[in-house]
Amino acid sequence: MSKVIYPGTFDPITKGHLDLVERAAKIFDHIVIAVAESPKKKPLFDLKYRVKMAETVTSHLDNVSVTGFSSLLAQFLKDEKAEVILRGLRAVSDFEYEFQMANMNRVLAPDVESLFLTPAEQYSYISSTLVREIASLGGDISTFVAPCVKEALDKKYGTGKQ
């Protein structure tokens, strides 16, 4: 069985993330969305809530599971007996960082390959950081995230329309 790990902070999960998961679900037997605790990034939502949002957004996909982790990704990959790391590339600017991470992961987990997918064009500019910023300023994020994520951000920032 082929298993791919899609790691990230997912703070919050966006339609760009979902696009990659849906396409990977057609290629792999099982996709694990690995939500990193990432305390150094100071996420807006706690780990448990980010896992819950990702589960809700991907609930229509039978071969996708979501789990949180706080270990080194290489250790998580070994624990999960995963063969592939899925990463998204939105723009050329992502490539340098992702290339460096792929090479580091190749040293730390030599039996695991990194696979890069690009999101559909309509999602190529979306990032969790931009979504949070727009939401914090009361902007409409409904085209960038699932309804449950929009609701969570509206609640967090007190910007929901009544």
Residue 41 bears catalytic tag: yes
pTM: 0.92
Residue 23 bears catalytic tag: no
User: Over the stretch 42-74, which tens digit does the pLDDT of each residue have?
Assistant: 999 999 999 999 999 999 999 999 999 999 999
What residue segments make up the domains of the chain, in order of their start?
A: 3-121
Residue 143 in 3-state DSSP?
coil
Single out the catalytic residue among 17, 87, 132, 150: 17
Residue 60 bears catalytic tag: no
Query: Which contacts (CB < 8 Å, 24+ apart) does range 44-53 have?
Result: 44/11, 44/12, 44/132, 44/156, 45/11, 45/12, 45/152, 45/156, 49/152, 50/9, 50/10, 50/11, 50/12, 50/13, 53/10, 53/12, 53/13, 53/146, 53/148, 53/149, 53/152
Single out the catalytic residue among 41, 48, 60, 155: 41
Residue 150 bears catalytic tag: no
User: Over the stretch 102-150, which tens digit does the pLDDT of each residue have?
Assistant: 999 999 999 999 999 999 999 989 999 999 999 999 999 999 999 999 9
104, containing H or E segment: helix 92-108
User: Over the stretch 24-36, which tens digit does the pLDDT of each residue have?
Assistant: 999 999 999 999 9
Q: 162 pLDDT band (50/70/90 cuts)?
A: very low
User: What does the pLDDT read at residue 112?
Assistant: 92
Single out the catalytic residue among 15, 50, 87, 128: 128
What CATH number belongs to 3-121?
3.40.50.620
Single out the catalytic residue among 90, 114, 124, 156: 90
